[in-house]
């Protein structure tokens, strides 16, 4: 991993006596896609608005691309932002819109035209370059917004819920672009979302925010492992062979077998102190059942997904 591009130290923002984010400390490196995960009101947008200098912290500090928060105009030149909601000038074409923003950033007329064309290709809009934005789908507008966020060749890109309200195909396109820009440009991406699957899909690290504080941070694997301590596996066997399977499992040291309500064909198992995914975890019970001549119809590990971690920490419904 590359150098640290984003660092926050005890970053806090209060609105009156309401604390929107409190004591955020984290780092993100070059090329990293950091997921900022949390339900509505968790503080994602506030965190992004602080880090992009739209808001001033109540306390704490941060730096972006090595520039301290006390030099906001310099930070603004090094970041790109797709805000939570943006209006687009519907009468302009995608090309005109990006050319305009490239000019605002200070590029000459021919350079701005070249940059706009390149960006439109990068986000898969080159074929619609000369269509008015009013004819774009929501997904196309989001991709145009991402292109605009890249116009100044930023070191860190902030995308605030870029997939919100998109259909699955639109979501996939946006996520593919996010992955691409992190890998090919080597930029750091901060992507806020309340959708877990996309964090598991594209993010290299994740911060889980709950009521303004970080409740978990690290790689997706780290966060999942750190929180999900109780692990279970479910084994489905032919219902008439359940007793034989139970007898076989009784001989496995440290194994607990629980019945599942209304599903006599499913055995729910845990190994004390051992992750079920480890060799010591579930291979022995599986072998025991198979050696007893009981076919295993299904086998599934529970509680090893980020959604369980999210649920355990926030008590919120995850999708």
Ligand X SMILES: Nc1ncnc2c1ncn2[C@@H]1O[C@H](COP(=O)(O)OP(=O)(O)O)[C@@H](O)[C@H]1O
By CB under 6 A, name the binding residues for ligand X. 15, 18, 20, 38, 40-46
Q: How far apart (Å, rounded) are the C-alpha atoms in residues 167 and 90?
A: 21
- Write down the least CB distance from residue 160 to Mg ion, Å: 6
Torsion sign, CA atoms 200, 140, 164, 20: positive
Q: How far is the CB of 192 from Mg ion (least distance, A)?
A: 7
Helix ranges restricted to H, 150-203: 168-185, 196-202
Taking the least distance from each CB to ligand X, the nearer of 13 and 236 is 13
> Tokens 């219902």 map to which residue?
239
Shortest approach of Mg ion to residue 103 CB, angstroms? 30
Contacts of 248 (CB under 8 A, 6+ apart): 288, 289, 291, 292, 294
> Based on CB atoms, which residue is closest to ligand X, 44 or 148?
44
Q: Choose the one of ligand X, Mg ion, none that binds residue 82, judging by a C-beta under 5 to 8 angstroms depending on kind.
A: none
**289/296 Cα distance (integer angstroms):** 8
For ligand X, give the closer residue by CB, 41 or 89. 41
Strand residue runs (E) in 150-286:
156-160, 188-193, 205-210, 213-218, 232-236, 255-260, 263-271
User: What residue 34 binds from Mg ion, ligand X, none (CB within 5 to 8 A, per partner kind)?
Assistant: none
Q: Cβ atoms within 10 A of the Cβ of 163, count?
A: 22
CA distance 100 to 299: 56
CA nearest neighbour of 173 among 134, 138, 133, 204: 138
Q: Which is nearer to ligand X, 18 or 91 (CB)?
A: 18
Please identify, using beta-carbon distances, which residue of 122 and 161 lies nearer to Mg ion: 161
Binding site for Mg ion (CB under 5 A): 44-45, 84
CB 20 to ligand X: min, Å = 3
The partner in contact with residue 38, picked from Mg ion, ligand X, none with C-beta cut-offs of 5 to 8 angstroms by kind, is: ligand X
Tell the smallest beta-carbon distance from residue 42 to Mg ion (Å). 8
SS3 of residue 86 by DSSP: coil
Nearer residue to ligand X within complex by CB, 102 or 159: 159
Q: How far is the CB of 296 from ligand X (least distance, A)?
A: 43
Hey, how many other C-beta atoms are within 10 angstroms of the C-beta on 183? Answer: 11
């Amino acid at each position: 991993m590359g150098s640290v591009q984003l660092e926050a130290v005890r970053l806090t923002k209060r609105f009156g006596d309401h604390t929107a984010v409190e004591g955020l400390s984290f780092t993100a490196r070059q090329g990293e896609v950091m997921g900022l995960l949390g339900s509505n009101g968790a503080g994602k947008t506030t965190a992004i608005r602080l880090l992009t200098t739209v808001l001033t912290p109540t306390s704490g500090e941060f730096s972006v691309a090595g520039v301290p928060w006390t030099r906001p105009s310099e930070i603004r030149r090094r970041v790109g932002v797709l805000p939570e909601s943006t209006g687009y000038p519907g009468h302009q074409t995608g090309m005109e819109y990006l050319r305009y923003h490239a000019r605002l950033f200070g590029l000459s007329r021919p350079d701005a035209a070249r940059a706009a064309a390149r960006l439109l290709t990068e986000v898969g809009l080159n074929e619609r370059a000369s269509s008015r934005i009013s004819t774009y789908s929501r997904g196309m507008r989001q991709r145009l917004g991402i292109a605009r966020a890249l116009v100044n060749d930023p070191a860190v890109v902030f995308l605030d819920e870029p997939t919100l309200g998109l259909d699955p195909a639109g979501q996939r396109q946006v996520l593919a672009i996010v992955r691409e820009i992190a890998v090919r440009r080597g930029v750091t991406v901060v992507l806020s979302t309340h959708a877990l699957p996309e964090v598991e899909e594209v993010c290299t690290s994740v911060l889980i925010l709950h009521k303004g504080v970080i409740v978990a941070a690290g790689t997706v694997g780290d966060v999942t492992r750190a929180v999900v301590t109780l692990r279970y596996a479910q084994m489905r066997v032919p219902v008439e062979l359940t007793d034989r399977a139970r007898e076989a499992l009784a001989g496995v040291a440290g194994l607990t077998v629980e019945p599942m309500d209304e599903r006599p064909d499913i055995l729910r198992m845990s190994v004390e102190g051992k992750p079920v995914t480890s060799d010591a975890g579930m291979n022995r019970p599986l072998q025991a059942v198979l050696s007893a001549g009981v076919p295993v119809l299904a086998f599934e590990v529970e509680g090893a997904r980020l959604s369980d971690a999210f649920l355990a920490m926030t008590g919120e419904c995850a999708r």
